Structure 1
Amino acid sequence: MIFITIGTQEPFDRLIQAMDEMAAEMPHIEFIAQTMKGVYVPKHMKCYDFLLPSQFDDYFENAELIVSHAGMGTIISALVKERPIIVIPRLLANKEHRSDHQIATARAIAGLGYVNVAYDITELKNKLKTLIQEPKVLHKLERFASEELIEDLKTFIKTPKK
C-alpha cells in the first residue's frame, strides 16, 4: 500500500492528481491518500479529507511507501518509523503554500541523504516506480536525536544561506 499525505494546511492538487494517475496505471497496488478538499477529484484511489490520528498512524505504519509534501512532521515520522518516503515540495508559484520553505527543506534533507526528493511530477513518478520495485529506507532516525544528527543540524543552521 502507498500512503499519500499532504498535511493539513492547504490542498495539494498537483500531487494528488499525479498519484491518482499512478494508481490508475497500477491497479494491483492500493493507493490511500489524506487529501483535504481540493479542486481535483481523485478517481482511482481511496481518499480521506481528514483522518483521526489513530487512523493516520495505522496507514502510515502499514504503508510500503509514503509519498508526501515536504513537511518536517511527516519526514521525521518516516525516518523514525523506517518507512521509505518520497517528498515533493509545495510551490509558492503554484499557490500551494505561503512560501517556498518546502523547497529549502527538501534540498537540505536530501543533501543529508535522508529521503528521496522529487522536484517535479516526472521525477516523482520515476522515483515511485523505482521504489515500488525496491523499497529502500535511506536513513533511520532514532526516537531521540543522535549526536551525528545534532551535529548535522548545527552545521546546517550555521551555514550561510544563498
Structure 2
Amino acid sequence: MIFATVGTQLPFRRMLHALDDWAGSNPGVPVLAQTGDGQCAFHHMETVEHLGQREFRQRFKAAKLIVAHAGMGTILSAAELGKPIVLMPRRSEFGEHRNDHQLDTAQEMMRLSNVTVANDAEALHETLDWYARYAFEVEMMPIQPDGAKLEPLLDVIRTFVWGGHEEQQQVSSNNAARSL
C-alpha cells in the first residue's frame, strides 16, 4: 500500500491529483491518502481527511511507500521506521505555501537513503512506476533509537535548520541528548 499525507496545516491538491491520476493507471496498487480537507473528489484512491495519531502511525507502518509534502515530521517518521518516502515539495508559486522552504528541505533530505524527491506530477509518476516495478519491496533500514546512530541524521537536520549558527546547534544538541 502507498500511504500519502499532506500534513495537518494546508491542503496539497497538486500532489493528491497527481497521485490519484497514477492510481487510476495502476488499479492493483492500493493507495490511501490523508487529504487534510474534503474540498476535492478523488476517484482512484481511498481518502480520509484526518487520522488520529495512533491510526496515522498504524497506516504509516503498514505502508510499503510514503508519498508526502516535504514536512520534517513525516520525513523523520519515514527514517525512523525504515520507510522509503517520495517528497513533493509545496511551491509558493502555486499558492501551496508562503515560501519555498520545502524545496530547500527536500534538497537537503535527499542525502538520506530513503528519500526521493518528485517536483511535479511527471516525476511523481516516474518514481512510483519505478517502485511498482520492484513491487514496493525497497525497504530501508530503520534508524535505531541509539543516539550514536541517530547523530548523522541529526547533524544533517541541525545544519539545515540552523544554517551554521554553531551556538544554537550546540544548544539543540544538548537538548536532544537529554531527551534520548
User: Which residue is 1:46 aligned to?
Assistant: 46
Q: Is 1:142 aligned with 2:148? A: no
What stretches of structure 1 of length at least 5 have no aligned partner? none
1:5-154 to structure 2, matched below 5 A, reads 5-37=5-37, 39-134=39-134, 135=136, 136-137=138-139, 140-143=142-145, 145=147, 146-153=150-157
Aligned CA-pair RMSD: 2.0
The alpha carbon displacement at 1:137 in A equals 4.1
Alpha-carbon distance in structure 2 between the residues aligned to 1:48 and 1:21: 17
Identity of aligned residues (%): 37
Query: Which amino acid letter does the alignment assign opposite residue 73 of structure 1?
Result: G
Q: TM-score, normalised by structure 2?
A: 0.79
Distance 1:26 1:17, change over 3 A: same
Give 1:12 deviation, angstroms. 0.5
C-alpha distance in 1 between matches for 2:45 and 2:19? 8
Deviation of residue 39 (structure 1)? Answer: 4.3
User: Equivalents in 2 of 1:55, 1:84: separation in Å?
Assistant: 19
Q: How many residues align?
A: 159
Query: Structure 1: which 4+ aligned runs deviate by more than 6 Å?
Result: none
Report the CA distance between 1:53 and its aligned residue.
Answer: 1.1
Q: Give per-residue Cα distances to partners, 1:48-71, cap 9 Å, x unaligned.
A: 111111111111111111100000
Gapped regions of structure 2 (runs ≥ 5): 166-180
